[in-house]
Chains A and B, each alone.
Chain A
Amino acid sequence: MLAVTKETFESEVLKSDKPVLADFNAGWCGPCKAMKPVLEELAAATPGVKFVSIDIDDQDELSDDYDVASIPCLVLFKGGEEVKRHVGLTSRDDIVALISE
């Protein structure tokens, strides 16, 4: 999964021509790590959606901008706008449902 920073957020997420699923996470967050293999598998299997990873410890401005106050937090962007989010450990089925929006 592509790691996104404040510098690349606009070009990779807001201006992306595909929908983007942004995974706000951190190295100390167990539920985030538990979801990672599922996200990686779905990223490979879903070419129509771009999956990106945002480390909230390095990118606190991005988490502030998007009001992320608990992780894991998955945010789906379309055309530069947030359309949906899911906070907390999320099952594979629910992630599939989120990106099928």
Chain B
Amino acid sequence: MHDIIVVGGGPAGMTAAIYARRASRSVLVLEAVACGGQILNTPDIENYPIEAHVSGYDFTTRVEAQARGLGAEFAFEKAVGLRRGGDAWVVETNKGGHRAKAVILATGAANRKLGLPDEDRLVGRGVSYCATCDGNFYRNKTVAVVGGGNTALEDALYLADLAEKVYLIHRRDGFRGEETNVARLRERPNVEFVLNATVSRLVAEKRLTAVEVTDVRDGSVRTIELRGLFVAVGRIPENQNFSSVIALDAAGYAIAGEDCHTAAPGVFVAGDNRVKPLRQLVTATADGAMAATEAVKFINEL
């Protein structure tokens, strides 16, 4: 049995492991895919205090080396459940189970999908969730962005510099994102707003060739031919597998304050999967430190 199991090897989870090891507690990090988390997708971090520019890959490999150097153990397993087993917590995974005195859930968030048929098959063949990652494949092509928040607006601005034409599809009249971004988009001759409309069908053979959009007011359908569809309709926190133990808000975020405590004694949450107003590296790592410190305190009082 470990003292602490951390679920998720992103910035929050790896920071929790560093703090737990510094307190001489044994710690096992369970990571479903590969360490690093969302930040792997950015070639340039410019707002984490210490360096003006660092790539997401360099950032996470250095944090991982730091955690491993302090003696944190890692296992590449996906956590599928959490339950009480005797006097410990049991984290169930796709390969079995692990026991610990305390558990820190640092599972972050994933891209929200449109939920349309064929969407999964077309990822990398016309459907994308990351404009800065995949935009280069659409130089001088026609693309669309779906969404109404700042991510969608920034994606559309980014793509307007590369693509021949950018449609911005949003289900309402107005945008949740900043007005300055909307104004900038209105000045771009190659950006067309498709408002009060939702994407209702992906048209594809081997790859995406068009989308059908349905007008939410009168139900009329329009087909837009394009090469790429960039989906920016928000993120989903990865808390579903633990919802029998921790309380979630309507959007699925784990309800916990700055001390990262959940209602279940010995279970803590850290990072982008927690209710909070700012989801960035600096707040994810802060949560990791806090959750580990509270977990150590919890174990000391057992």
Q: Which 10 A-B pairs have the closest CB atoms?
A: A87-B124, A70-B124, A30-B57, A30-B40, A69-B137, A91-B33, A30-B56, A70-B134, A33-B57, A28-B43
Instruction: Report the minimum CB–CB distance from B114 to chain A (whole Å).
Output: 16
Q: Mark A34-71, 1 if CB is under 8 A from B, else 0.
A: 11001000000000000000000000000100011111
User: Provided the pairs A28-B43, A30-B43 are in contact, do residues A88 and B35 lie with their beta carbons within 8 angstroms?
Assistant: no
| CB 8 Å contact bits of B92-136 with A (1 = contact, 0 = none) | 000000000000000000000000000000011110100001100
Within the assembled complex, what's the spacing in Å between the Cα atoms of A88 and B192?
29
Roughly how many angstroms separate A27 CA and B201 CA in the complex, as a whole number?
34
Please state if A70 and B133 are interface contacts (CB–CB under 8 Å).
yes
| Distance between Cα atoms of A5 and B42 in the complex (Å) | 26
Bound form: Cα–Cα A73–B123 in Å:
10
Q: What is the interface size of chain B, counting residues whose CB is below 8 A from a CB of the partner? A: 29
Binding site for B on A (CB under 8 A): 28-31, 33-35, 38, 63, 67-71, 73, 85, 87-93
Contact status of A87 and B123, CB under 8 A, knowing A34-B57, A69-B128, A69-B134: yes
A31: min CB distance to chain B, Å:
5
Contact assessment for B40 and A31 in the assembled complex, using a CB-CB cutoff below 8 Å: yes
A-B contact sample (9 more), CB < 8 A, given A30-B39, A30-B57, A87-B124: A30-B36, A30-B41, A34-B60, A35-B34, A67-B125, A69-B134, A69-B228, A87-B125, A91-B32
Give the residues in chain A near B133, CB-CB below 8 Å.
29, 70-71
B172 CB-CB contact with A under 8 Å? no
* C-alpha spacing A28/B36, complex, angstroms: 15
Contacts of B33 in A (CB 8 A): 89-91
B86 to A: closest C-beta gap in Å: 29
Contact B207 A38 (CB under 8 A): no
